[in-house]
Structure 1
Amino acid sequence: MGIQQYSCVLWDVDGTIADASAGILPRIATVLAELGKPPTPAERVNEWIGPPMLESFQTIAGLTADEALTAVTAYRALASSHGYAESVRLYEGVADLIHDVALAGIPQSTASTKPQNQVQAIFEHFGITDLFVAVHGARPEPDAHDTKADVLGRALDDLASRGIDLSKPVLIGDRHHDVDGATDHDVPVIFARWGFGSSAEEAGAQHVVDTPAELRVLLLGHSDASAA
């Protein structure tokens, strides 16, 4: 398996690079309580991580479109006051892999439905911004309806404008939203099982990996970090 199996790598962020659940879930609980809504059932809590927040407040919490907009505004105010990188951790081995992919000369970008300013804040906090050609996320306006396909399309257009080879792109993600959005652009997906998706969401992915070490083999053709 050669080092150039993929010409560029696009990354989802929540559940793939970073675990922000320690901050996300308490903020959601606070917002729902302030709106007088019931808490999320325990078996559905993980569904919050990954999809667009505006969508989730409707599909998971059962809010109307107007209520969801109010909830997202309140949620983002909390996130801003707490600090976007607060209670965020990077998955072990992923930052090292991102570094080695960059070292191998393979361009990388994000394609996340997390607001772009939040992604940038997290990457700056952990010192990994310079490993990416570009960082793309959802528009930060609360009423923005960016889907994974929307953000991925902008990321691909941007990479093309920079002269990046898009002949063999790949998206790394952990939810069915990643698979569905990538399908709209004919981009294959490697599904990361260390995230928040269920096994039912893997359908349609080109590959499924349990660990960053397995992902390393697919991206770089070897499992040894020292070989990069």
Structure 2
Amino acid sequence: MRSFPIVFFDLDGTLVDSEPGIINGIQHVFSSLGRPVPEAKTLRPWIGPPMRDSFQAAFADEALVAQALSLYRARYDTIGWTELSVYAGIPELIGALHAQGRRLAVVTSKNERSARQILSGLPFGACFSDIIGASDDGSRRFKPDLIAEALRRLEAESGQCVMIGDRRMDIDGANHHHMHSIGVLWGFGDRDELEQAGAGAVVTSPAALQQLLV
């Protein structure tokens, strides 16, 4: 694989294991609304797609969707964003790429405020040139739009970049911009999902990803 000067990373399931904070937040919403609380294992597919869309699928009424989002964000902004861990090998990977002079950016469907809050607390957060996330009003939340915004902010061409993520949405977004993509298997997707989406490569560890990007 050729060396890409600009590397886009998804956040949840790629840089950090954020499952506890996300799942706890969703369960908090259902409990607060007096609805049966889904088991954690049934909520795992919610990690990756925009939260707004997942709530829209669960609650038909838009007023209820807005209330659910408000409840989720209130908990996430206070405690949920801390309920995560960095995947083993990620600090070394980010440090090595940054030392090589690569431009790094986070491109996530998570609300941009939350993504910035998380990255500011990580030892390698300063390695990223920018953090692009969903807008507060939800108008920018799908990966093609998020990648477009990243390209605009970094004044980059898609051919200079590679998108790295754990779900099909990351690969779909890259394909939309004719951008190379790499799927990772330590997150919330699996090999079939990533390969069917058309990932240019699939790796099993941050060390393998680093070797591929050299």
Q: TM over 0.5: same fold?
A: yes
Structure-2 change in CA distance of 1:166 and 1:189 (3 Å) = closer
Structure-2 change in CA distance of 1:174 and 1:83 (3 Å) = closer
Distance of 1:129 and 1:42 partners within structure 2:
29
Which of 71, 75, 92 is equivalent to 1:74?
Answer: 71
> Alpha-carbon deviation of 1:182?
1.5
Structure 1 partner of 2:162: 170
Structure 1 partner of 2:208: 214
| Counterpart contact for 2:159–2:180, Cα < 8 Å | no
- What is the aligned-residue RMSD (CA, Å)? 1.8
Structure 2 partner of 1:54: 52
Q: Does 1:104 align with 2:103?
A: no
Which of 130, 151, 155 is equivalent to 1:156?
Answer: 151
Structure 2 partner of 1:205: 199
Could you tell me which amino acid in structure 2 is paired with residue 147 of structure 1?
F
> Alpha-carbon deviation of 1:15?
0.3
Percent identity over paired residues: 33
Q: Does 1:123 align with 2:115?
A: no
Distance of 1:167 and 1:180 partners within structure 2:
16
Distance of 1:183 and 1:165 partners within structure 2:
14
> Alpha-carbon deviation of 1:83?
5.9
Q: Could you list the structure 1 runs, at least 4 aligned residues long, displaced by more than 6 angstroms after superposition.
A: none
> 3-state SS of the aligned residue for 1:39?
coil
Distance of 2:29 and 2:128 partners within structure 1:
33
Distance of 1:145 and 1:70 partners within structure 2:
19
Distance of 1:36 and 1:115 partners within structure 2:
25
In proportion to residue count, which structure has more strand?
A: 2
Structure-2 change in CA distance of 1:216 and 1:166 (3 Å) = same
Structure 2 partner of 1:15: 13
Q: Does 1:132 align with 2:128?
A: yes
> Alpha-carbon deviation of 1:14?
0.3
Structure-2 change in CA distance of 1:78 and 1:144 (3 Å) = farther
1:74-109 Cα shifts (integer Å, max 9, x gaps): 10011122263x111111101210111010011111
1:155-199 Cα shifts (integer Å, max 9, x gaps): 011111xxx565331100011111112211111210011000133
> Alpha-carbon deviation of 1:137?
0.9
Distance of 1:182 and 1:65 partners within structure 2:
30
| Counterpart contact for 2:171–2:181, Cα < 8 Å | yes
Distance of 1:193 and 1:199 partners within structure 2:
7
Gaps of 5+ in 1: 221-228
Distance of 2:139 and 2:104 partners within structure 1:
25
| Counterpart contact for 2:19–2:47, Cα < 8 Å | yes
Equivalent pairs, count: 212
Structure-2 change in CA distance of 1:71 and 1:180 (3 Å) = same
